Amino acid sequence: MRTQVGIIGSGPAGLLLSQLLHLQGIESVVVERQSREYVLGRIRAGVIEQGAVALLREAQVHERMDREGQIHEGIGIAFGGRRHRIDFRALTGSSVMVYGQTEITRDLFKARDAMGGTIIHDAEDVTLHDVATEAPHLTYRKGDDVHRVDCDFIAGCDGFHGVSRRTIPAHVLRTYEKVYPFGWLGVLSRTPPVSPEVTYNHHERGFALCSMRSESLSRYYVQCSLDDDVGQWPDDRFWDELRRRLPEDAARTLVTGPSIEKSIAPLRSFVAEPMRHGRLFLAGDAAHIVPPTGAKGLNLAASDVYYLSHALVAWYGSGDTKLMDAYSDHCLRRVWKAERFSWWMTTLLHRFPENGPFGERIQLAELDYLVNSKAAMTALAENYTGLPY
Which residue in the set 245, 296, 330, 334 belongs to the binding site for ligand RFL (CB under 6 A)? 296
The yes or no reply on residue 92 touching ligand RFL (CB under 6 A) is no
Pairing of strands 153-156, 280-282: parallel
- Binds 138: which of ligand RFL, ligand PHB, none (CB < 5-8 Å by kind): none
Helix (H) or strand (E) holding 75: strand 74-79
Site residues for ligand PHB per CB under 6 A: 45-47, 198, 209, 211, 219, 292-293, 295
Greatest distance between any 2 Cα atoms in the chain: 63
Is 369 noted as a catalytic residue in this protein? no
CA dist 301 → 49, 158, 285 (Å): 11, 11, 7
Q: Is 377 exposed, middle or buried (0-12, 13-18, 19+ CB in 10 A)?
A: buried
- Of 331, 329, 303, residue with least CA distance to 20: 303
Which residue in the set 5, 39, 151, 154 belongs to the binding site for ligand RFL (CB under 6 A)? 39
Based on its alpha-carbon atoms, the radius of gyration of the chain, rounded to whole angstroms, reads 21
Cis peptide before 181 (omega within 30 of 0): no
Is 140 noted as a catalytic residue in this protein? no
By CB under 6 A, the residues from 59 to 78 that bind ligand RFL are none
Q: How far is the CB of 135 from ligand RFL (least distance, A)?
A: 21
* CB nearer ligand PHB, residue 167 or residue 211: 211
* CB nearer ligand PHB, residue 111 or residue 222: 222
What is d(CA 168, CA 30) in angstroms, rounded to the nearest whole number? 20
Nearest position to ligand PHB, beta carbon: 46
* CB nearer ligand RFL, residue 247 or residue 297: 297
Q: How far is the CB of 263 from ligand RFL (least distance, A)?
A: 7
Contact of 287 with 165, CB cutoff 8 Å: yes
Is 110 noted as a catalytic residue in this protein? no
Which residue in the set 195, 199, 256, 299 belongs to the binding site for ligand RFL (CB under 6 A)? 299
- Binds 198: which of ligand PHB, ligand RFL, none (CB < 5-8 Å by kind): ligand PHB
Amino acid identity of 65? M
What is d(CA 220, CA 189) in angstroms, rounded to the nearest whole number? 8
Candidate list 99, 140, 180, 200, residue with the active-site label: 200
CA 294 to chain centre: 10
The yes or no reply on residue 183 touching ligand RFL (CB under 6 A) is no
Q: How far is the CB of 299 from ligand PHB (least distance, A)?
A: 11
Which residues have a catalytic role annotated?
72, 200, 292, 296, 384
